[in-house]
Structure 1
Amino acid sequence: MRGSLLIVPLLWTQSAHAHGIAGNRYFAGTMTIDDPAVADELILPNFSYLPFPAQGSNVTESRINGAFARLLTPTLAFTIDSAWVHQNWPIGRTSGFDKTNIGLKYEAFRDNRHEALVSVGLAWGIAHSGAVAIGADAPDTIQPGIFVGKGFGDLPDSLSWLRPFAVTASFVDEVPLGSVGRALAPNPATGRFDTILPRAVETLHWGISLQYSTLYLTKRFDRGPPKDEPLNQLVPLVEFRFDSPRGQTTAATANPGFAYVAVAWQVAAEAIIPLNRAGGTGPGFRAQLLIFLDDFMPALFGKPLLSGRPARSQIAW
């Protein structure tokens, strides 16, 4: 079995970028951190609910995130994302759009034999694109990032029980280009919201995920290279998300759940468990629908905008 695992990626020359595949490994589209895939994809919605301390007071927040990525070349994508946010405060409710981010994401490294994938990105957070009501009226930000995935299907027989596992990691440094933003803060004395000018702070958004491929429990690898991509499977996972503002307490959560990946879409759900008070005052949940646009609408997304070569090719023997 070990020999077939090592030979498969050499024979299998597909480049299924749309599904975040490296060799025999599918890296699930994670919900709290960005995954290493560079693809034509649409996330709508990514819904989350979590009670957590924000703007100096306890508030229950619901978010509907959306993100879109379009391949410019087989390894370079344009990205855009934003969210609608609704907050319940003890004295009232606020809602509005979060800041809009646009950027580029590039697949910098791929090793199919060792199930490894590395991408880098650079995004621009557009100043004043978010609502004052939810504290998203912030200055411009620059967000360089790196996104890594590594599967363990290449391990020797003595460690075969670890082959179904994979890890991904994401590190994004959000650097403000201005000093202050605008937000609403509750005033218990008046029962109203006051406009404040919070200081913009550099924040490192980082995290890791641990994933388990159920296909490694099947006979998929027993008779030579697989004939199909590693899709149509359930992927149990747990994500750990950390937000570290400079000079402030890191907000930390653990997010256990699962993803089911099909050919043209992935659905995922997970619990949100705060690891400290900055991460939340109680448990929440999150659910996501991810659409692989090149399979969902191949006539429109069958190839990158700036390249005649398709983003994916068939398995070659």
Structure 2
Amino acid sequence: MTFDDPAVADELILPNFNYLGYLAQGSNVAENRINGAFARLLTPTLAFTIDSSWVHQNWPTGRTSGFDKTNIGLKYEAFRDSRHEALVSVALAWGVGHSGADAPDTIQPGIFFGRGFGDLPDSVSWLRPFAITGSVIDEVPIGSGGMALAPNATTGRFDTVLSPAVETLHWGFSMQYSSLYLTKRFDGGPPKDEPLNQFVPLVEFRFDSPRGQNTAATANPGFAYVAVTWQVAAEAIIPLNRAGGTGPGFRAQLLLFLDDLMPALFGKPLLSDRPAHSQIAW
């Protein structure tokens, strides 16, 4: 939930809700953020992506709210090995300047990877339910900076101040445990007679590294429940250093698998008659 997974598919995330009782770098503010993201396959291995968010902040001196920057991009599945549950994707996104937040354009190249361990030998079969995913995204600003609202403790109002543009490396990884492997009826697909399709305890680690500044780090333990057409997930947000925050938060997400939910509309890619790859169950 803190970074994109390596799959390339027709998906809709609405909402991805975040509550932070703090902000990084010592800011005294509570923030509610609602993200939305949409991905549409153009070919079986290439997807168009778009995402944005609405932000509401409670400062000691007042409140601010509005849309954050919109990101538009392409994501390409570069490597797949279903037998070994391995997947690698690359992406390139454009952060549209002044689309909501008064910030400059950005270019965001990224790489996303995942590896499940269901192919491990019997001697270490206890590791088979585990999987890891991760991503590295470099957000490079184009331009000198933008403007932002900042509270003025003297006047009790908000002042418009210059917000410098800083290149930031967003990176992270997750560890997951799939309950599919706990059933004797597991045959490589969803269990037909189990009460749960797939319950996945997980922990994500997220890091934001602005050039010349301290890295903001958080650990995010939670779970996901994966059904056939949707997935619901929730996790806590626990700062690992002061730059990552001074108190806990939480996030929750609803993800819709559009190709299964509306096959008549999303049953095949826009520019190809070939069906998309089936998703790897981590």
TM-score exceeds 0.5: yes
Identify which of 216, 219, 226 aligns with 2:181: 216
* Contact map agreement 2:180 2:190 (CA 8 A) in 1: no
Q: Which residue of 2 aligns with 1:6?
A: none
Q: Does 1:192 align with 2:157?
A: yes
CA offsets 1:124-155 (integer angstroms, 9 cap, x no match): 0000002xxxxx31100000000000011111
| Residue identity (%) | 84
Identify which of 69, 83, 108 aligns with 1:143: 108
Paired letter, 1:270: E
Q: Does 1:179 align with 2:139?
A: no
Q: CA 1:39–1:273 in structure 2 vs 1: closer, same or farther (change >3 Å)?
A: same
- State how far apart, in whole Å, the 2-side matches of 1:196 and 1:55 are: 17
Shift of 1:212: 0.2
Paired letter, 1:84: W
Paired letter, 1:63: R
* Contact map agreement 1:52 1:279 (CA 8 A) in 2: no
* Contact map agreement 2:113 2:135 (CA 8 A) in 1: yes
Q: Which residue of 2 aligns with 1:109?
A: 79
Paired letter, 2:75: K
Matched position secondary structure for 1:159: helix
Shift of 1:52: 2.3
* Contact map agreement 1:220 1:226 (CA 8 A) in 2: no
Paired letter, 1:204: L
Shift of 1:83: 0.3
- State how far apart, in whole Å, the 2-side matches of 1:313 and 1:108 are: 15
Using the size of structure 2 for normalisation, the TM-score is 0.94
Paired letter, 1:104: L
Q: Which residue of 2 aligns with 1:61?
A: 31
Question: Cα RMSD (Å) of the superposition?
Answer: 1.7
Shift of 1:57: 3.0
* Contact map agreement 1:50 1:283 (CA 8 A) in 2: yes
Q: Which residue of 1 aligns with 2:50?
A: 80
Paired letter, 2:110: G
Q: Which residue of 2 aligns with 1:126?
A: 96
- State how far apart, in whole Å, the 2-side matches of 1:47 and 1:228 are: 28
Using the size of structure 1 for normalisation, the TM-score is 0.84
Q: CA 1:54–1:217 in structure 2 vs 1: closer, same or farther (change >3 Å)?
A: closer
Gaps of 5+ in 1: 1-30, 131-135
- State how far apart, in whole Å, the 1-side matches of 2:216 and 2:137 are: 15
Q: CA 1:159–1:55 in structure 2 vs 1: closer, same or farther (change >3 Å)?
A: closer
Q: Which residue of 2 aligns with 1:271?
A: 236
Count, aligned residues: 276
Shift of 1:56: 6.4
Paired letter, 1:282: G
CA offsets 1:245-296 (integer angstroms, 9 cap, x no match): 0000111110000000001000000011111111112111100000000111
* Contact map agreement 2:106 2:140 (CA 8 A) in 1: yes
Identify which of 59, 79, 85 aligns with 1:89: 59
Q: Which residue of 2 aligns with 1:260?
A: 225
- State how far apart, in whole Å, the 1-side matches of 2:204 and 2:277 are: 28
CA offsets 1:73-126 (integer angstroms, 9 cap, x no match): 000000000000000000000000010000000000000111100000000000
